[in-house]
């Protein structure tokens, strides 16, 4: 999880919760890496910050993102996301040209 206004309540109730938080800079670093990546590597993909930084930006040490120095925030997303492809994936239905529709 990322330190944010939403996590402050939990941190106030139990300061140990901070050990499972990362700094928001992990998002900004991932966004910059995604913007620098070739379009073919990112278009249409579901990307997770840590995975993208590790697999495509060469980040191996994530300690700088830990809110509490020395802590190792646990991963909250599955290591492998399920395939969400559906039979209707390429069915866009009937398409309309909105410019022509205004005439």
What's residue 47's pLDDT?
A: 93
- Please, what sign has the CA dihedral across residues 67, 73, 60, 57? negative
- Which pLDDT value is given to residue 103? 60
Residue 29, C-beta contacts closer than 8 angstroms, at least 6 positions apart? 49, 53, 57, 59
CA 71, CA 75: separation in Å to the nearest integer? 12
Q: What is the pLDDT of residues 68-80, one digit of tens each?
A: 999 999 888 888 8
Q: What is the pLDDT of residue 102?
A: 67
Helix locations, 1-103, DSSP H: 5-13, 25-36, 39-42, 49-56, 98-101
Low-confidence ranges of the chain (pLDDT < 70): 89, 101-103
């Amino acid at each position: 999880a990322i330190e944010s206004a939403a996590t402050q309540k939990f941190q106030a109730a139990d300061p140990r919760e901070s050990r499972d938080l990362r700094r928001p800079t992990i998002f900004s670093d991932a966004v910059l890496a995604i913007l620098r990546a070739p379009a073919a590597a990112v278009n249409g993909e579901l990307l997770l910050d840590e995975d993208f930084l590790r697999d495509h930006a060469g980040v191996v040490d994530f300690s700088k993102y830990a809110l509490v120095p020395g802590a190792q925030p646990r991963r909250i997303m599955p290591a492998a996301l399920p395939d969400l492809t559906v039979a209707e994936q390429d069915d866009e239905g009937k398409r309309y040209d909105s410019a022509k529709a205004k005439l």
